[in-house]
Amino acid sequence: MSPRKTPFRVEGGRTNDSAAAQVVPPLVPAFPLFHWSPTTRRNQIMHYGMRISMRSVDGLWRPPYTCWATDPNMAWQLSGAIHPEVPQWDLWETWSDVPSGAEALVDCRRDNGEYYVKEYRIYERIWKRNLWFVGTR
């Protein structure tokens, strides 16, 4: 099966745009994206999909996006690792060609100075038909 090709718009990362453009070219094969959410939200996600502006895990704010990463470990570092008070988490997957665009946050590796996309912020709802429940931790 050949990889799907999709235009993936990168809307200015937190560092400079030229670094983001080097990491994510304008036309790339679709790739999987992962997101961890508390298990208590599973029924809601299975019913409505992944919605933006839902209250954060700590209940302090409503982000206008959902955070995704290209591998489960990086996604864990963005959510579950910083909230040890939540006992169980669900891993969800979608593909990069599902949203119409995303903001890529670029970071630099300390060991070799290489740029990489740390996080993708998606500012639209991901419908349940485009989500796959991977497992629970």
Res 3: pLDDT = 45
Would you put residue 15 in left (φ > 0), alpha (ψ -120 to 50) or beta? beta
Confidence of residue 109 (pLDDT cuts 50, 70, 90): confident
What residues does each domain of the chain span?
5-136
pLDDT of residue 70: 95
pLDDT in tens, 1-12: 444 444 444 444
Mean pLDDT value of segment 81-105? 93
Instruction: Quote the CA–CA distance of 81 and 86 in Å, as a whole number.
Output: 10
Taking the mean position of all CA atoms in its chain, how far away is CA 81?
15
* pLDDT one-digit tens code per residue, 34-58: 999 999 999 999 999 999 989 888 8
